[in-house]
Amino acid sequence: MALSRALSFYRSFSTVPSQSLRVCIVGSGPAGFYTADKILKAHEGAEVDIVDRLPTPFGLVRSGVAPDHPETKVVTNQFSRVAQNGHCSFIGNVSLGSSISLAELRELYDAVVLSYGAESDQALGIPGEELAGIYAAREFVWWYNGHPDCRNLAPDLKSSDTAVIIGQGNVALDAARILLRPTTELATTDISCHALAALGESSIRKVYLVGRRGPAQAAFTAKELREVLRIKDLSIEIRQEDLSKTPADEEELKNNRIKRRIHELLSKAATPATSICSPGQKELHFVFFRKPDRFLESDCRNGYIAGLRMERTILKEDVESGKQIAVGTGLFAEMECGLVLKSVGYKSIPVDGLPFDHHKALIAVWSIIVAN
C-alpha cells in the first residue's frame, strides 16, 4: 500500500541509527500519548510514531469530554509537549485495517502498541432497538463534540418534550446536562455549531435517567452529580422510597467513599411528595430499579420511537460475584418519549491479524504484539 512504501522511503533517508527502537502507537488518546511519553523517556534515541484514523489527535479528550468541561482538556498541553519531541511524530488520517494493515506495521516497526480505544457500543438486545430516535450516548456525545463520524446525526429534538437516557454513569449525566443546560451557557463553550443550533430549537424539557439498580449502585461521581443538580431552573425529581437502604446497600456503602457521598447528594436532592412544576419547566428525573423491556413504535411515524416499556426490578445477591444484581419482578409500566440515549457501556472493534474474543468484545491475546 502507498502508505507503507512512503514510510519505508522516509526511513531509508533518515539519519536514525539502526539500533534505535522504532515504535508505532495506534490511537492518539491519553493512553497513546502517555505510552509515547514513557517510551521516549525510557529508551534513548527511540523513535515513536503516533497514528490516528482522524486528522486530529487526542481521542476522547477531544471527542468525549463535554464542551462545558474545558479544565479536563488541559491535559492536551502535556500531550502537545510529547509530540514536540523531535523523535515523536503524529500522523493523522491513518486507519488501521484500511490505510495500512497490522502486518505491515509490524514489518516497519520494532513494536506496535494498540491504544485505539473501544468505539463500539453495548447493545441492550431488546425489541425495538432499531427504531429511529434511539442512539448510543457515544453518538450523541460525538455529535455535540463535532466528531466527523457523527456530524450528520441530526437527532430530532423538536417532536417531543421527553428524552430517556438509559444508564447512570458520568456519560449519562453529560448527555442530560447538555440537553438541559440553558443554551446561552453552552454558547460560550466549544460545543459544535450544529449541536448548539439544534439545542437552541429543542423542545426537550424532561430528561429521565433510568437505571436497573438503586442509588447505592449508581456509577456517576460526585463532581458530575453536584454539577447537574445545580443547573439553573431545573427541577430534580428523585423518589424518597428509592433512597431507603437495605443492609446489603449499607455494606456496599460502608467501604466506598465515592458511593457514600453520591448517596448523600441524592438524598439531599430528593423532592418531597408534592412538588410544584410550572409548565415548560425543565425536569431531571432519576429513575431507579427499572429495566428497559422494549421500545414502542409510534403509530403516526413509521419506524420511529414513541415510548418504552420498563420492568420494575429488585436487587438480589449474585452468588458468584457477591454483587447485588437487578432481577425483574414482572411488573411493567410504559412511558412516552421521543429520544432515547443508551449509555450502557462500550465495546472494542476487532483488528485483522489479532485473535478477538467476540463474547467479551476484547482483543484476546496481547503478548504476541511485542515479538519482533
Partner 1 sequence: MLGRKILTRDDLTIPTQHPIPFPDQHKVNLGPGHRASKGACEASLACSTCHVIVMVSNYYNKLEDPTDDENDMLDLAFGLTNTSRLGCQVIAKPELDGIRLALPVAMRNFAVDGYQPKPH
98 lies in the binding site for partner 1 (CB under 8 A): no
Q: Grid coordinates standing for 117?
A: 480505544
Please work out the total of residues on this chain that contact partner 1, with binding judged by CB under 8 A: 23
Is 341:137 a contact under the CB 8 Å cutoff? yes
Query: Shortest gap between Cβ of 313 and partner 1 (angstroms)?
Result: 20
Dist CA 294 CA 124 (whole Å): 9
363 lies in the binding site for partner 1 (CB under 8 A): no
Query: Shortest gap between Cβ of 331 and partner 1 (angstroms)?
Result: 29
User: Per-residue contact track with partner 1, 7 to 46, x per CB under 8 A?
Assistant: -----------------------xx--x------------
Q: Is 212 one of the annotated binding-site residues?
A: yes
75 lies in the binding site for partner 1 (CB under 8 A): yes
Residue 90 main-chain phi, psi, to 5 deg: -105, 130
**Nearest residue (CB) to partner 1, 32 versus 292:** 32
221 lies in the binding site for partner 1 (CB under 8 A): yes
122 lies in the binding site for partner 1 (CB under 8 A): no
Among 11, 261, 309, 312, binds partner 1 (CB under 8 A): 261
Binding-site annotation, residues: 31, 60, 96, 168-171, 212-213, 224
User: Which residues would be at the binding site for partner 1 (CB under 8 A)?
Assistant: 30-31, 34, 60-61, 69, 71-72, 74-75, 77-78, 169-170, 219-223, 226, 257-258, 261
Residues in the annotated binding site for FAD: 31, 60, 96
